[in-house]
Amino acid sequence: MAERPSVPSPPRLVDVARAAGVSLATASRAMTGSSGVSAEVAAHVQAVASRIGYVPNSHARALAGGQVSMVGLIVHDVGDPYFGEIARGVLHETESRGYLALISQTQRDPRAELARIRALRAHRVTMLVMAGSGYVRAGREAGTEVGAGAGITAGAGTGTGTGTGADTDAGADMAAEVRSFTAAGGRLAVIGRHHLPVDAVLPDNAAGGATLMRHLLGLGHRRLGVLGGPPNLTTVEDRLDGLRTAFGAAGLDWRSVPVVHGDFTREGGAAATARLMRAHPDLTAVVALNDPMAVGALSWLLNSGRRVPGEISVAGFDDAPVARDVYPALTTIRLPMADMGKQALDLVLRPPASRPRRRRTTHELVVRASTAPPHT
């Protein structure tokens, strides 16, 4: 059998010390910028390191010093443009401040969320940003709690949790993990409404839902349907609360509004629209609780021969980049997603406060071509 060609090992710190003619301790201090080494010696050692191709092991150095210059970012779904925009904001700040970001996703599974925190802690990450909805209390799934009224339709989603015993156990375990993490000096900020005593950036979900409903009511719509995301998410609960509040304030009965739950994806939106329209073909407007679902609704309606907005209006939420690229362009609620990421990272990097800090965002109604007065 032929021998595998040998692969030269990368230069080590001891090689730098030998080539520079200094001790290993001096080479280490020169490469880390520690005191006890003159500027001339440090410059000489660093020049030698560059010449021989030595790359410092920053992770090993961080572990040795008890510090890790990394920030963990946990999101629900890296493929969701909402989280992509938040990640963009976080990455902009980490890069400008000299940190590295480690990104992981949970697919909206509270158990996976807990596992990601534990994994990042095992890697000595002491600063975390969790981007994504919290989970509603057991028995209060959004749009399905007792008293939600007729017309509420629960669709089966995937990877969304149960909102019952499993989520309750995960929530208790998460709270314990967060207490342990912060007691050990870790810093955590969340984006979204969570039942955790930590710093938070709170999207303007309820007020945004109310603004969107007032827009549709102002156009003259009364027969509306809603595409809700996973019913165990506080984001869904809050956006539905905003829609419900504005609908009721207009003197209308929310129980007449059908709500179909599904995954927060394009495919989830299309499937939920199919169920909604087959049960309620006379609707004049559909509200999706995020933009990917709204894009799925547009696709299903147009493929079914329905004219948008000629026969039925469609509105979304978040103002993800895709909202302006589809046809017709999507009316939606704009949240400052990238700025939310920046704000969360800023909270993590600030010294801890005596009480959890809350930063609330704004929202903006963006009217595009997908909504119009109902056809008469």
pLDDT of 272 higher than 70? yes
- Whole-angstrom CA distances from 125 to 6, 263, 328 are 35, 31, 44
Q: What is the mean pLDDT of the chain?
A: 87
| pLDDT score of 228 | 97
Cα separation of 135 and 132, whole Å?
10
pTM above 0.85, yes or no: no
Structural domains of the chain ordered from first start:
13-56 (1.10.260.40), 205-335+362-366 (3.40.50.2300)
Taking only the tens place, the pLDDT of each residue in 67-91 is: 548 899 999 999 899 999 999 999 9
Measure CA 23 to chain center.
48
Query: Dihedral angle at the C-alpha atoms of 306, 307, 311, 315, nearest 10 degrees?
Result: 100
Q: Which long-range contacts (C-beta less than 8 Å, at least 24 apart) are formed by 171-177? A: 171/110, 171/135, 171/195, 173/114, 174/110, 174/113, 174/114, 174/117, 177/114, 177/117, 177/118
Taking only the tens place, the pLDDT of each residue in 227-241 is: 999 999 999 999 999
Which of the four pLDDT bands, split at 50, 70 and 90, describes residue 157?
very low
In this prediction, residues 90-115 reach a mean pLDDT of 91
Q: Which long-range contacts (C-beta less than 8 Å, at least 24 apart) are formed by 18-21? A: 19/48, 19/51, 19/52, 20/44, 20/45, 20/48, 20/49
In this prediction, residues 248-270 reach a mean pLDDT of 98
Cα separation of 181 and 31, whole Å?
31
In this prediction, residues 85-101 reach a mean pLDDT of 93
pLDDT of 57 higher than 70? no
| pLDDT score of 147 | 30
**Most confident listed range (49-53, 177-181, 224-228):** 224-228
